[in-house]
């Protein structure tokens, strides 16, 4: 290995051999930890993860091959490299060590160069992926607790002696009732049950143990051990809930192998259950996060929909209020224009009659009048001419009022925007203070296709705001211009302008910078909607401290588009 310092665990009960190996490995720059027993090594592995474990085959209590087996079977340590050392020259020892999961086997008599060559060869073939230790569950080792139920002291002593080499913890009982009570209270990893026992026999004990496993959800292997090795007894034991059946014999190799196989099944089953629980937990977490995300998205969608509905309601309310306001104003203006127009027509008709009659008799009257009265007669004739000029101005104002208030101008038609703008200025003339100058500059052609009445409303809102901005002293400029595609109405003032924080909100319904009672904040919002309905746009060009310039752009191709 390269990079990080190689970490080696030595499991050796000989202090002399442990010191020799430690010195040799530390001289190679490796970090070394020593354990004198397999149990101590397993405890160490619960908190640390070495790169290589060097194991003496002959250890007190648990043998080296059993230690290899337990390390290899644990998912958290299963990929650690292991090297077994032994003085035993029998091939069977080497075979047992390799079959237990060791990666290599070497005699203790091997010289230092040979040992280090083997170690470096193993490290080059390191099977652990880079960073594989990250994110793994901590290794957890415990001595398997094997419960033995048998009334034969000789067999119990033999089994205890043999199983001690595998590092098992053992609890023995003579009676099945005691063993069952212990398993329920303390649990176990494996239980050996004698077929023939005083009191509760092995078959009944197997039944009760199997019932307990079913009710509790806990699983531990049950091994039936008997000196009556018959097919009938085996069938009875397996049907009662035993997981395996083995006959008693002086050779305990088979018994040890069966116990190891059953414990492997338990370990695999427990690991599968642990993984399943973790998987279900992760799956539930994913489902919960997905549910929370979907719920948040639904809430956001509902909030967005409510906000949109609220905005629409505000805009509709604003339009209704302004429409009602404009309708009332239109009816009022139309009524005034009608009431003024009738007497105006009467007066102008009779004025014409008076003027024609006076012209017809003027020569005769002048010959009869003394020289002192002739100036009065001439003055009367001049006053008649002045009266005609004044009445014509009134008639022009009435015409503009009628143009502004025409109800049929809600339809889409061609209109002269110059006349519309002039009518708006006539309506707002009373608001033009002495210190305010209103300048107009019209394009050569002001005929466009539009809804005239709503556009009148836009112009009125913009001019009214401009007059409010100059506050009795300043200039308001109304200009029109056009190119091949767009007609523009531009309303500008030289008032104080708009603050930067207000510019983005001026088209919001009910937003206003005017004092309470001076405005509802609907004019620009409604103007924005009206221009949008004409497929146009309204832009504001604030120049802080130098006034505001509004530009209304209406496309000229609306007739073709409709």
Higher pLDDT, 526 or 32: 32
Give the range among 17-26, 296-305, 354-363 with minimum mean pLDDT.
Answer: 354-363
Distance CA 217, CA 212 (A): 8
What is the pLDDT averaged over residues 130-150? 65
Distance CA 60, CA 83 (A): 18
Beta strands in 354-503 (DSSP E): 413-416, 435-441, 447-450, 473-482, 486-493
Distance of CA 32 to the CA centre of its chain: 48
- Looking at residue 517, what is its pLDDT? 46
pLDDT in tens, 149-162: 998 888 888 888 87
**Residue 476 backbone phi and psi in degrees, to 5:** -125, 125
Give the range among 135-139, 149-153, 346-350 with minimum mean pLDDT.
Answer: 135-139
How buried is residue 123: exposed, middle or buried, by Cβ count under 10 Å (0-12/13-18/19+)? middle
What is the pLDDT averaged over residues 81-91? 78
**Position 467 pLDDT exceeds 60:** yes
Distance CA 558, CA 85 (A): 96
- The secondary element (H helix, E strand) that includes residue 44 is helix 38-45
What is the pLDDT averaged over residues 399-425? 73
What is the pLDDT averaged over residues 15-42? 91
Q: Is the distance from CB of 155 to CB of 174 less than 8 angstroms?
A: no
Beta bridge mates, 244 = 223
What is the pLDDT averaged over residues 212-224? 91
**Position 108 pLDDT exceeds 90:** no
Give the range among 82-91, 168-177, 331-340, 475-484 with minimum mean pLDDT.
Answer: 331-340
Contacting residues for 380 by C-beta, under 8 A, at least 6 apart = 358
Contacting residues for 151 by C-beta, under 8 A, at least 6 apart = 174, 175, 194, 197, 198
Q: Is the distance from CB of 146 to CB of 169 less than 8 angstroms?
A: yes
Place 476 in a pLDDT band, splitting at 50, 70 and 90. very high
What is the pLDDT averaged over residues 281-304? 90
Task: Return the residue matching tokens 């400029």.
Answer: 477
* DSSP secondary structure letters along 328-390: HHHHHHHHHHHHHHHHHHHHHHHHHHHHHHHHHHHHHHHHHS-TTTHHHHHHHHHHHHHHHHH
Place 512 in a pLDDT band, splitting at 50, 70 and 90. low
Distance of CA 385 to the CA centre of its chain: 81
What is the pLDDT averaged over residues 305-317? 80
- Looking at residue 374, what is its pLDDT? 76
What is the pLDDT averaged over residues 459-487? 89
Q: Which domains does the chain have, with CATH numbers?
A: 7-124 (3.40.50.2300), 145-250 (3.40.50.2300), 408-561 (3.30.565.10)
Tell me the Ramachandran region of residue 27: left when phi exceeds 0, alpha when psi lies from -120 to 50, beta otherwise. Answer: alpha
Place 407 in a pLDDT band, splitting at 50, 70 and 90. very low
Percent of the chain with pLDDT over 90: 22
- The secondary element (H helix, E strand) that includes residue 311 is helix 253-368
* Overall pTM surpassing 0.85 (yes/no): no
What is the pLDDT averaged over residues 431-440? 89
- Looking at residue 399, what is its pLDDT? 66
Percent of the chain with pLDDT over 70: 82
**Position 116 pLDDT exceeds 70:** yes
Place 127 in a pLDDT band, splitting at 50, 70 and 90. very low
User: What does DSSP assign to residue 430?
Assistant: G
**Position 551 pLDDT exceeds 90:** yes
Higher pLDDT, 483 or 231: 483
Q: Is the distance from CB of 245 to CB of 213 less than 8 angstroms?
A: no
**Position 87 pLDDT exceeds 50:** yes
**Position 213 pLDDT exceeds 50:** yes
Give the range among 196-200, 263-267, 299-303 with minimum mean pLDDT.
Answer: 263-267
Q: Which two tokens stand for residue 62?
A: 């648990």
How buried is residue 89: exposed, middle or buried, by Cβ count under 10 Å (0-12/13-18/19+)? exposed
């Amino acid at each position: 290995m390269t990079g990080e310092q190689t970490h080696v665990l030595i499991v050796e009960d000989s202090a002399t051999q442990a010191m020799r190996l430690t010195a040799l490995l530390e001289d190679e720059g490796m970090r070394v930890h020593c354990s004198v027993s397999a149990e101590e090594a397993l405890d160490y592995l619960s908190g640390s993860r070495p790169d290589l474990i060097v194991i003496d085959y002959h250890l007190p209590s648990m043998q080296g091959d059993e230690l290899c087996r337990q390390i290899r079977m644990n998912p958290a340590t299963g990929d650690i490299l292991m090297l077994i050392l032994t003085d035993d020259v029998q091939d069977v020892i080497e075979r047992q060590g390799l079959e237990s999961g060791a990666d290599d086997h070497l005699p203790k008599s091997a010289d230092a160069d040979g040992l280090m060559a083997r170690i470096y060869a193993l490290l080059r073939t390191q099977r652990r992926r880079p960073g594989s230790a990250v994110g793994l569950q901590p290794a957890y080792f415990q001595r398997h607790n094997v419960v033995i139920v048998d009334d034969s002291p000789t067999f119990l002593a033999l089994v205890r002696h043999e199983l001690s080499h595998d590092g098992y913890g053992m609890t023995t009982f003579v009676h099945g009732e005691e063993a069952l009570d212990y398993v329920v209270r303390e649990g176990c990893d494996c239980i050996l049950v004698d077929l023939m026992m005083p009191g509760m026999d092995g078959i009944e004990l197997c039944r009760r143990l199997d019932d307990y496993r079913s009710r509790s959800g806990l699983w531990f292997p049950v091994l039936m051990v008997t000196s009556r090795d018959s097919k009938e007894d085996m069938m009875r034991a397996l049907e009662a809930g035993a997981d395996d059946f083995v006959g008693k014999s002086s050779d305990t190799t088979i018994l040890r192998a069966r116990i190891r196989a059953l414990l492997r099944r338990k370990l695999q089953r427990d690991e599968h259950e642990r993984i399943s629980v973790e998987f279900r937990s992760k799956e539930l977490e994913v489902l919960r996060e997905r549910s929370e995300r979907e719920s948040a998205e639904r809430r956001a969608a509902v909030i967005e929909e409510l906000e949109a509905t609220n905005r629409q309601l505000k805009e509709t309310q604003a339009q209704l209020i302004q429409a009602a306001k404009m309708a009332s104003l239109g009816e009022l203006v139309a009524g005034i224009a009608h009431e003024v127009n009738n007497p105006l027509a009467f007066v102008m008709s009779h004025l014409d009659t008076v003027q024609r009659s006076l012209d017809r008799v003027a020569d005769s009257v002048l010959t009869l009048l003394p020289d002192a009265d002739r100036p009065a007669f001439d003055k009367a004739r001049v006053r008649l001419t002045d009266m005609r000029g004044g009445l014509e101005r009134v008639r022009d104002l009435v015409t503009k009022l009628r143009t502004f208030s025409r109800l049929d101008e809600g339809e889409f038609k061609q209109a002269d925007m110059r006349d519309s703008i002039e009518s708006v200025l006539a309506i707002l003339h009373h608001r033009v203070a002495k210190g305010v100058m209103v300048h107009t500059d019209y394009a050569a052609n002001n005929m466009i296709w539009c809804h005239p009445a709503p556009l009148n409303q836009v112009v009125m809102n913009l001019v009214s705001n401009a007059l409010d901005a100059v506050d009795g002293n300043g200039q308001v400029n109304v200009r029109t211009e056009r190119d091949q595609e767009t007609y523009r109405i531009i309303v500008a003032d030289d008032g104080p302008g708009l603050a930067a924080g207000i510019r983005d909100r001026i088209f919001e319904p009910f937003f206003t910078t005017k004092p309470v009672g001076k405005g509802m904040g609907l004019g620009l919002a409604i103007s924005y909607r009206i221009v949008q309905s004409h497929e146009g746009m309204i832009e504001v060009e604030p120049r802080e401290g130098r006034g505001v310039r509004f530009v209304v752009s209406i496309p000229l191709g609306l007739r073709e588009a409709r």
